[in-house]
Amino acid sequence: MKFILKNGMLILILGLFLANVLVFVSGISLSDEVVFYDSEIKRLKQENLELEKEAYRIGSLQHAASEAAELHYTQRPNVVYLDTLQAAR
């Protein structure tokens, strides 16, 4: 009886030790994935900021004015009337 109990405890301890090693190894691989996704998130945030700046630049009035100048658009001239209407007295 002591032999079976002693061997059973030894097998249980070895099994728990192996389970602990497996959990440790899976935790290491999981932490590598977390680091990868964290760096990917940082890269995507930086890319998003750059795209936002580009969108603001394209949508700005200054960009529209430079595009108009590049395409040789001119401002509509202000019309000056020679005859001005006098208010009724």
* Domain range list for the chain: 2-70
Q: What angle do CA 35, 40, 41 make, to 5 degrees?
A: 100
| pTM of the predicted model as reported, rounded to 2 decimal places | 0.51
| Mean pLDDT value of segment 17-46 | 95
Question: Which pLDDT score is estimated for 69?
Answer: 82
Residue 88 confidence (pLDDT) above 60: no
Closest C-alpha among 49, 54, 26 to residue 41 = 49
- CA–centroid distance for 79 within its chain: 50
- CA–centroid distance for 65 within its chain: 31
Cβ pair 25, 17 in contact under 8 A: no
